[in-house]
Amino acid sequence: MGILSWLILVPLIGMVYVMLMPKEKVNLIRYGAVIISVIPMLLSFWLTWDYFFNYSGSAAMAYMEGPYEWIPSLNIQYLLGADGISVPMLFLTGLLSTISLIASFSIKFRVKEYFAFFLLLEAGMMGVFVALDFFLFYVFWEIMLVPMYFLIGVWGGPQKEYAAIKFFLYTLFGSIFMLVAILIMYFTSEPHTLNMLELIDHGPTLSHTLQMVCFIFFFIAFAIKVPVWPFHTWLPDAHVQAPTAVSVILAGVLLKMGTYAMLRINWPMFPKALQDLSFWIAVLGVIGIIYGALVSMAQKDLKKLVAYSSVSHMGYCMLALAAYSSVTAIAGVMFQMISHGLITGALFLMVGVLYDRAHTREIALFGGLGSKLPVYTALMLMFSMAALGLPGMSGFVSEFMIFIGAFGALNKVLVGIAVLGVVLGAAYMLRMFQNVFLGEFNMAKWGGLTEINGRELLTVIPLAILTLAIGIYPKPLTDLLQATLDNLVLLMSR
């Protein structure tokens, strides 16, 4: 069995382990889950390392497993593989899963079920990023909904049921379109196949109408996940109600599955449809950027602000995805996916740290925390600055690449409007920062707040280091992506 299968299997083994533990042995469950999740994390690190040195020169799939027959009568196969766009995602998934599990130590209620669901979620996420058979992909895509539904619905905030159901149904609604599109692809191919690599060659041979239909169907499914404006309203609810660690995974990995799937499936499979629709996709992206930023500005809840900032940040991804002919823009998408995963993940962790202590996230209730919690404030400042795209951090590199790439490939006025997001992004972040951290400190009310502790630092420091590392020296990542993206751009420009 190859490394990719292990990435999926180890979390599943972890889940079985957690389920076998008696539920009173909370520490055995927690530490066991964390330790088991370290294995796929290290595997994903090794995979990134190995890919970088041995495979990044070519666009071919690496670490291929299969095709093994699974359901031969329908030609369904077990087929895994990774290339330049999946490897960074696996890295992110491995890292954020472990970090989230560590951040989950504050969960006190039904610990066993929580950790079991979490590990199942990790297996599903890994699977999505490595599956190359549509059936397999669809199974992983759907399987993740189940643990996610329970994680939000059981361990969430006051409106958890509403948020969980909304998340579940919304995503499922999109999945139906995906299923139809998959079936169209299956039945039009000869011999019938669900192998994505083969279907990438099959897609462009379809009639124009069918390409459009499939493209739009896939797009709806993935756009809900990203989320692209106007399919975004499940996101703030899910984020605000979900426990901290789940928000981290949601923002850090789940949203990326949408953009990843676009790059993996939607874009290269139906290039003609993409070329016809790219302007409108860019428009949706720009609306997302500006709209998300403006709505963030009106938020009173810290977590909701971060959630809406995700809408804005993912808007950059959509803008750049529309600029399919530019390698720089597509690299910008990858950078933005990674960078948003790191930064927004960290912001959610930081908000969780404050919420655990203050039991509120109402921005207006705070003020002057900078004098009481210097380390926490410094970290929050760093991540806020990263989120608003300050140079030296990964967000800047990604936004800059996106602008450069999109400006060359898309309508210049549209990109000019998108640039406004840079100021609006700074505005809502700095407003939040001022209201929470600057100004007079209310000693009577918040005198009891304690500084961020060692376990919490352990969760955010790796994200801080990576944010800085990618921001200061992005070249390793561009080198890793280069060959895959060159090939992808060729496919998309067919």
Partner 1 sequence: MTEHSYLIVLLPAFSFLMIVFFLRWKEKIASLFSIAMIVTSLIMSISVLFETIARNGEAYTASFTMAQLGSFKLQLGLLIDPLTAMMLVVVTAIGTCVEIYSIGYMKDDPRFSRFFAYLSLFLFSMLGLVVSDNFFMTFIFWELVGLTSYLLIGFWFEKKSAADACKKAFLTTRVGDLGFLVGLLLIMYYTGTFNYEEVFAKIGMDVFPPAMLTLAAIGVFCGAIGKSAQFPLHTWLPDAMEGPTPVSAIVHSATMVAAGVYLTARAMTVFVASADASFFVAVIGVVTSLLAATIALVQVDIKRILAYSTVSQLGYMIMALGLYGYDTANGHHSPGFYAGTFHLMTHAFFKSLLFMGAGSVIHAVHTNDIRDMGGLLKKMPITAPTFLIGSLSIAGFPLTSGFFSKDEIVAATFGHPVFTVLTLLIAFMTAFYMWRLCFLTFFGKPRDEHRYEHAHESPKTMAYPLIFLAFMAVFVGWTGIPALSHGFASFVFHAEPYHPHADWMNYIVSSIVGLSGIGLAWLMYYKRKIDPDKLAERFKPIYTLFWNKWYFDELYDIIIVKPILAIGRFFWSFDANVVDGAVNGTAKVTLLWADLKWWFDRWIVDGAVNGCGWIVRAFGSLLKYIQSGRMQFYGLFILFFIVAAGIYKFESAYLNGWIFTDFLEVTTLFVILIGFLSYFAKTIVPESTTKPKREE
Q: Can you give the binding site for partner 1, defined by CB under 8 A?
A: 166, 169-170, 229-230, 232-234, 291, 294-299, 327-328, 331, 368, 370-371, 385, 390-392, 396-397, 400-401, 403-404, 407-408, 415-416, 419-420, 422-424, 426-428, 430-431, 433-434, 437-441, 472-475, 477-479, 481-482, 485-486
Name the minimum Å distance from CB 410 to partner 1.
11
Nearer to partner 1, 114 or 170 (CB): 170
Nearer to partner 1, 104 or 296 (CB): 296
Name the minimum Å distance from CB 288 to partner 1.
12
Nearer to partner 1, 298 or 458 (CB): 298
3-state DSSP of the chain: CCHHHHHHHHHHHHHHHHHHCCCCCHHHHHHHHHHHHHHHHHHHHHHHHHHHHHHCCCCCCEEEEEEEEEEHHHCEEEEEEECCCHHHHHHHHHHHHHHHHHHHHHCCCCHHHHHHHHHHHHHHHHHHHHECEHHHHHHHHHHCHHHHHHHHHHHCCCCHHHHHHHHHHHHHHHHHHHHHHHHHHHHHCCCCCCEHHHHHHHHHHCCHHHHHHHHHHHHHHHHHHCCCCCCCCHHHHHHHHCCHHHHHHHHHHHHHHHHHHHHHHHHHHCHHHHHHHHHHHHHHHHHHHHHHHHHHHCCCEHHHHHHHHHHHHHHHHHHHHHCCCCHHHHHHHHHHHHHHHHHHHHHHHHHHHHHHHHCCCEHHHCCCHHHHCHHHHHHHHHHHHHHCCCCCCHHHHHHHHHHHHHHHHCCHHHHHHHHHHHHHHHHHHHHHHHHHHCCCCCHHHHCCCCCCCHHHHHHHHHHHHHHHHHHHCCHHHHHHHHHHHHHHHHHHCC
Q: How far apart are CA 387 and CA 342, in angstroms?
A: 10
Name the minimum Å distance from CB 209 to partner 1.
27
Nearer to partner 1, 39 or 327 (CB): 327
Name the minimum Å distance from CB 15 to partner 1.
32
> Do 119 and 151 touch, CB atoms closer than 8 A?
no
Name the minimum Å distance from CB 336 to partner 1.
14
Name the minimum Å distance from CB 263 to partner 1.
15
Name the minimum Å distance from CB 438 to partner 1.
4
How many Cα neighbours within 13 Å face the side chain of 30?
A: 16
Name the minimum Å distance from CB 433 to partner 1.
8
- For 207, the token pair is 């009639």
Please state, in angstroms and as integers, the Cα–Cα distance from residue 198 to each residue in 67, 79, 109, 268, 269, following that order.
Answer: 12, 12, 47, 12, 10
∠ CA 428-252-34, rounded to 5° = 130
Nearer to partner 1, 32 or 395 (CB): 395
Nearer to partner 1, 26 or 426 (CB): 426
| Rounded (10°) CA dihedral 230, 92, 323, 347 | 50
Name the minimum Å distance from CB 492 to partner 1.
15
Nearer to partner 1, 391 or 448 (CB): 391
Nearer to partner 1, 169 or 176 (CB): 169
Name the minimum Å distance from CB 153 to partner 1.
16
Nearer to partner 1, 268 or 370 (CB): 370
Nearer to partner 1, 34 or 385 (CB): 385
Name the minimum Å distance from CB 169 to partner 1.
8
Residue where the block lists tokens 């899910």? 238
Nearer to partner 1, 190 or 440 (CB): 440
Nearer to partner 1, 184 or 468 (CB): 468
Name the minimum Å distance from CB 195 to partner 1.
29
